[in-house]
Amino acid sequence: MRRSTVTHDAPLSLLRTVFVRKSLIADLSASGVLVLTELGFLAFLTYLGLLDPALSQRPIGDSPNYEAMARHPFSSDPAACQLPFCWRVLTPWLVHGLNQLGLSLQNGFLLVTTISLCGAVIGIYALLRLLGATPWQGLAVALLVQTQYEFGLNGLWRYEGAVALEYLLLVLAFICYWQDRPRWLLVVLALGALQREFTLLAVVAFAGEQVIRRDWEHLKTYLPAYIVPILITLALHLALHPVNRFGDLFQWLQGNWQLRSNLAGRASTISLFGNVNPFVLNVYHLTIGSFGLLLPLLLLQVIHPPYVARRPVVWIFLLATAAIVLFVTSDNERLMIIAFPVFAVAAWYELRWIAQRTKLPAAAIGFVLVLVQSLFLLGLFYKTVQDFSLIAERLQEPGWLRVLWLGVLVVIVAATAVTALWILGAGTRLLYRHALA
């Protein structure tokens, strides 16, 4: 009997080993594809000469502030003391450490940004795999995230900043929360508080969902993970160049609001559409411009019985992000993209639902969307480069590229319009049934 048991158990153990090994190979291969794609974007920008500050007219943005902070962590340079950059210390400290090891400041920022963006898209893949996605489905959705303008090109183009590492920490925070890892969540959110204050939006979303569900046991367990990053943020604000008076803070917010109210989308959209309504341009960049084809997939999740749309954390995170974008910050696009984890999860569930209705593989549908969005990414990048007068000698504007960009834009707008009509029709049918009842 003992010999028979060993004989029958051996094949099961072998099958388990083979399955784990095949899954590991698939996950490593998908991660390699995502890394190679990001490095391909990096090579594309390097080939055009758009990353070297000495060879291009790259938008300066916030880079002088972060460079001053990285040059000396506690510098008295006015650029290092400017609000709110002086409180975002994690990336400058990492670059300062790399600089002490012999790496230049620019290369240090580029290294941290590239690794962070690669880690963020791999984190999306890992999150979807933990939720039950197949390797192909996870890769398709991760590529949909990666081919967004901010992830694909603008994040690398503006590499001397603090947003890339924030993306990585946010997706890690969602992984820890959805996998019920409060101790790891504490570590991630604590690092996020050192990186950028907007990471605290995750605290609002996570704690808000637990309060709405009256899940007091989990709220009590997660309370240290919520309190510690808040205390770190307050300590940073008090220790590093504090705002002495409430009036100073109000004046700073007022200046941001005035700048934001006068901002009418990206220069590329103004050049393409002309002097149209600034509100329309801002709506475009807060939705389609930021999320591309992920936006209609999220909207479709609201129509039929969804999974992700039932989670209060999704809507709290989206509403908090939108409120910060509209009323506090002067940036109308780059901040909104931090909602990418909930968009990615919604996109995966929606692709599965579409696959069930069309009898097509969900991954195949996803890869088709990736192809369309990649063409849109290339056109959007070129239009932006042209508007900033960063035209390299090897980058010329063929007529077909403008036509292609407009064609892809029409596809995205049409998909969003169909989704909106579908929502309207579903709402009308629901009201009609309620009236008959």
Tokens 């579908």 belong to which residue?
422
Q: Could you count the other beta carbons within 10 Å of the beta carbon of residue 18?
A: 10
Residues with Cβ within 8 Å of residue 430, at least 6 apart in sequence: none
234 lies in a domain?
A: yes
Supply the range of the domain harboring residue 87. 29-436
pTM: 0.78
**Lowest-pLDDT range of 264-268, 278-282, 305-309, 329-333:** 264-268
How many domains does one find in the chain?
1
126 lies in a domain?
A: yes
Which burial class, exposed, middle or buried, applies to 176 when counting CB atoms under 10 A from its CB (0-12, 13-18, 19+)? buried
11 lies in a domain?
A: no
6 lies in a domain?
A: no
410 lies in a domain?
A: yes
17 lies in a domain?
A: no
8 A C-beta contact, residue 241 and residue 224:
no
List, for residues 313-351, the tens digit of each pLDDT value.
Answer: 888 888 888 777 666 665 555 677 888 899 899 999 999
List, for residues 345-396, the tens digit of each pLDDT value.
Answer: 999 999 998 888 888 888 888 888 888 888 777 766 666 665 444 434 444 4
Encoding tokens for residue 366?
A: 């996803």
**Lowest-pLDDT range of 25-39, 64-78, 266-280:** 266-280
CA-CA distance, 41 to 23, in Å (whole number)?
27
CA-CA distance, 142 to 243, in Å (whole number)?
40
10 lies in a domain?
A: no
7 lies in a domain?
A: no
